[in-house]
Amino acid sequence: MVTALKTDIELVAHLMRRAAFGLPAYRFERLAEQRYEDLVEDLLDVESKQRPEEDLLERFLSEHADEENNAMTAARWYFRMINSERVLEEKVALFWHNRFATGVAKSNVNLMMWAHMEMLRDHGMGNFRTLLQKLSRDPATIWWLDQQTNHKGAINENYGRELLELFSMGRGNYTEDDVQAAATAFTGWTLDQSIPRYPNGWWDFSFVYREDDHDHAEKTFLGRSGDLNGDDIIDEVVKNEATARFVADNLYRYFVSDEPDEAEVKVLMKVYFESDYEIKPMLRHIFNSDSFKKATYEKVRWPVDHVVNIVNTTGRHTDPYEGGLKKLAVASALMGQRLLDPPSVEGWHTGREWIDSSFLIERVNFAANMLGDTNTPGMRTIIGRISTGKTSITADELIDSCLYELGCVEISSKTKDILLEESNLPAGIQIDDGFGDKVTQMIELIVASREYQLG
């Protein structure tokens, strides 16, 4: 693709907001030297890259040794999202965390939730059939949906129902008899507990299949009859068109737009079947599609995106010795997204439901507070880049520079006029000792805008 450099940069910024968590210009500018398609491939190629070694968090900050604390477990995840070379893996894990919404609220075992998230990282970009097989064997999911109480002769249909209703086909595509058949096929899929390492320690859960508790009776599921087991159910589910639509529609909404697009969803369903249920080719198709490239700022930014984007701009929390990660977990919780603890198995209410008066106030206050500090590495860099080699700049230039440095933020001309008037800056702003403060003041106004809530 040969386009003017500026267009390229905006597209890179967009890709980094959607396939990653958003970066300031000083961190993505150099990426514009590569072809767009190569950037996409680089993001998709997670296998050749490392996950961060966050054991240093525990070694140097004793608070991180508290593995049983929800906010600390979420804080570890924030460290990953900020620092993992496999950033798309984190973005996709967050996607599945919302779609397969499993939480810590019921079990109170954060280590189990962490293991659940590792499973979503390992398989989230892989094959959807494998993903459902792993999900059905995942201790946190089993506990969350009472699958351990699903016995031969006494079924608990919770997991069977949610697998069909919320994790794949969706309501209206199966009958109540299918739900019963699915639940019966998963009888005997349960949990085993190890003896804890320490007195009163955590009882490690693992998946176990108990043959003697499995109901081998003849079942009929979506028209297939026989002595069906859980994996047979999954086989039938993944080849169903409703499942293809579920995966396609949800990926589109997450990565492209809060508003679905039937034609694009149809194409994605085709990719799903052609690749035998692989997620990565669907992602490749999305990022390379024109509809994706055109969909800049068409989504209300998720609280987690908002927080990580802002932290990335400040350049903070890039080394494991810096304390205070927990504050990030608390911040997104106050904005309506408590990681590892979704409000229900339906996941979070996204789109415009991310904005209520309290959540909006938290978003604006967090952004202004973090980015209003001239002493973070990121803001020092940004102030330097705006001022280097100049003796003065105009107010208009200052606004444009700030928008660019924050990651090609787009605002309406009306908003820009308001910023110009309310900042009340002189026509020529001197580059002097007080200049950094003028930059952060302008940035405070920008991040308080409506436009900055979009991503």
Partner 1 sequence: MTTASKQTRSSDPVFVVVQLSGGNDFMNTVIPYGDPFYYDFRKTVGVAEENVLSIDDQFGFHPALTPLKKIWDSGDLAIIPGIGYPVPDRSHFRSMDIWHTAEPTKIIAEGWLGRVVRELDPGKTNVCTGVSFGQGLPRAMYLMGTPAISVGQLEEYGLLTSLAGERQRKALNAFQRMYVPEEIDEASMVMNHIGQTGIDAMTGADMLAIAPERYSSTIEYGEDALSQSLKGIAQVHLADLGTRVFYAQLPGFDTHGAQIATQSRLLENLSNSVTDFFDDLKEHDAADNVVMMVFTEFGRRIRDNGNGTDHGSGGGAFLIGNRVNGGMYAEFPSLDPAEHLSGDLKFNNDFRSLYSTILDDWFGIEPAPVVNGTFEKFTGMIQPVEA
State yes or no: residue 374 binds partner 1 (CB under 8 A): no
* Residue 345 binds partner 1 (CB under 8 A): yes
Q: How far apart are CA 98 and CA 332, in angstroms?
A: 15
Cβ proximity to partner 1, 266 vs 450, nearer residue: 450
Which part of the chain contacts partner 1 (CB under 8 A), choosing from 1-9, 205-213, 378-386, 411-419?
411-419
**Which residues, other chains included, contact 116 with Cβ-Cβ below 8 Å and sequence gap of 6+?**
102, 138, 139, 140, 141
372 binds partner 1 (CB under 8 A): yes
Min separation Cβ 248 and partner 1, Å: 22
Residue 227 and residue 181 in contact, taking contact as beta carbons nearer than 8 Å? no
Residue 330 engages partner 1 in binding (rule: CB under 8 A): no
Within 194-325, strands assigned E span: 205-209, 219-221, 224-226
CA distances from 194 to 149, 204, 205, 207, 208 (A): 18, 5, 6, 11, 12
Compute the distance between CA of residue 165 and CA of residue 245 in angstroms, rounded to an integer.
Answer: 13
Q: Rule CB under 8 A: which of 200-259 touch partner 1?
A: 258
Phi-psi map region of 300: left, alpha, beta (phi>0 left; psi -120 to 50 alpha): beta
Scanning 49-57, 214-222, 287-295, 353-361 for contacts with partner 1 by CB under 8 A, the matching segment is 353-361
Looking at 120, 131, 339, 445, which residue binds partner 1 (CB under 8 A)? 445
Distance (Å, whole) CA 294 – CA 256: 9
The binder of partner 1 chosen from 65, 154, 217, 361 (CB under 8 A) = 361
- d(CA 35, CA 269) in angstroms, rounded, equals 27
Residues 5 to 44: which contact partner 1 by CB under 8 A? Answer: none
170 binds partner 1, rule: CB under 8 A? no
Of 185 and 445, CB closest to partner 1: 445
333 binds partner 1 (CB under 8 A): yes
In 201-275, which ranges are E strands? Answer: 205-209, 219-221, 224-226
∠ Cα 419 422 423 (to 5°)? 75
Q: Please state the closest distance from residue 355 (CB atom) to partner 1, in A.
A: 5
Residue 66 CB neighbours (<10 A): 15
* CB 361 within 8 Å of CB 331: no
> Which helix H or strand E contains 393, and what residues bound it?
strand 392-394
Q: How far is the CB of 167 from partner 1 (least distance, A)?
A: 14
Instruction: Choose the binding region for partner 1 from 68-76, 176-184, 279-287, 441-449 (rule: CB under 8 A).
Output: 441-449
- Residue in 54, 362, 399, 435 binding partner 1, rule: CB under 8 A: 362
Question: Could you say whether residue 350 binds partner 1 (CB under 8 A)?
Answer: no
Q: Which of 49, 352, 426, 432 binds partner 1 (CB under 8 A)?
A: 352
* Near partner 1 in 249-308, by CB under 8 A: 258, 300
DSSP structural state of residue 221? E
Binding marks (x or -) toward partner 1, 420..439, rule CB under 8 A? --xxx---------------
Taking CB under 8 A as the rule, does residue 323 contact partner 1?
no
Instruction: Give min distance, CB of 419 to partner 1, in A.
Output: 6
Count the helices and strands in the chain (H runs, E runs): 23, 6
**Residues contributing to the site for partner 1 (CB under 8 A):** 105-106, 158, 258, 300, 333-334, 336, 338, 343-346, 349, 351-353, 355-362, 364-365, 368-369, 372, 415, 418-419, 422-424, 441, 444-445, 448-450, 453-454
